Structure 1
Amino acid sequence: MKSFLYFIGVLIVIFVIFQFIPSYEKANPTFDKTKEIKISKDLKSIFKKSCYDCHSFETNWPWYADVAPMKWVVRRDVVEGRKALNFSIWDSYPNAKKEELKKKIFRSINLAMPLPQYLWLHPDAKLSSDDKKKVQNWASNGKGYIKMEVR
């Protein structure tokens, strides 16, 4: 019993020390709203529900984004998500980049996004098949499909 309590004490000390290890800054920078993506209200609500936490400057930071080790994961995912695609600055992207991003959105909406670990804590972000079709229709400029290059 004594060794178990010692073990628990060591874990608590390690947990407390982890809280002082820095991570990415948790921030929502101000941005020019005129650069934000311009889409229908229906599509925007889908994106806000399932994408904006990682792919915009409008992240809703959960409480666990301040607690190690989760803070490292959450903050990294947001930083990397914003680098890959940021709906808050969509209109500042060149048209060629927008089209490339749309292709990536089209592909990833069925396979990888939202991330499974995000859905564990945000089950309401799961996209319905109807939501996926709407996003893919937008991403394909109304065609419903995208011609993919095979490399």
Structure 2
Amino acid sequence: MKRVLKIMLAIVLFIFIAIQFYQPALNVNKGQVYTTDFSKVYTVPPNVQNILQNACYDCHSNNTNNVWYSNIQPIAWLMKKHIDNGKEKLNFSEFGSITSRRQISKLKGIANQIKDEQMPLASYKIMHRNAQLSMEQKKMIVDWMNKTADSLSTEN
């Protein structure tokens, strides 16, 4: 029985080491700010922009602040899938490239998801304390998003 256990453990260890050689491309464009970036399209108050960068940009932009475990498989694969999914739904780096109608929808969606505490995700907040937003921070973002969406609606 002990021999079978040792063989199984050796196989698991070999597989774990072997998968470390397959690294997915990381979502990193350090310091690069696109002309279509949310902060370039809108005049975002610094306190709101700071919250968005700390709580949202890792999954919802082309600039992820990768941590030490983002190079360990299979965690990196899961993170890549999560980030790709987040960027597909909302990408702050490319926000200016979508129609104003979709921008209004996205702004209201951001406000609603924060208000309903669907974002930031609980799993993200566990590892990123700066993404744990206070009620004041949530209100600040929700109010600014709704105000901006309303001003865009009256322009169109």
With the shorter chain as reference, the TM-score category is 0.7 to 0.9
Counterpart CA distance in 2 for 1:91 and 1:132 is: 23
Give the SS at the match of 2:103.
Answer: helix
Counterpart CA distance in 1 for 2:60 and 2:78 is: 15
Counterpart CA distance in 1 for 2:36 and 2:148 is: 22
**Aligned residue for 1:11?**
12
C-alpha change, 1:98 and 1:129, in structure 2 (3 Å) is same
CA displacement at 1:55 relative to structure 2 = 0.9
Task: Give CA deviations for 1:70-96 in whole Å, capped at 9, x if unaligned.
Answer: 011111111111111111122222110
Q: Quick one: which of 65, 68, 77 aligns to 1:63? A: 68
Give the SS at the match of 2:147.
Answer: coil
**Aligned residue for 1:100?**
105
More helix by share: 2
**How many pairs align?**
143
Counterpart CA distance in 1 for 2:23 and 2:67 is: 17
Counterpart CA distance in 1 for 2:33 and 2:58 is: 18
**Aligned residue for 1:28?**
28
**What is the one-letter code of the residue matched to 1:125?**
A
Q: Give percent identity, aligned residues only.
A: 27
Counterpart CA distance in 1 for 2:15 and 2:68 is: 20
- Normalising by structure 2, we get a TM-score of 0.79
Q: Quick one: which of 123, 126, 131 aligns to 1:125? A: 131
CA displacement at 1:18 relative to structure 2 = 2.4
Q: Which runs of 5+ in 1 are unaligned?
A: 144-151
**Aligned residue for 2:58?**
53
**What is the one-letter code of the residue matched to 1:80?**
N
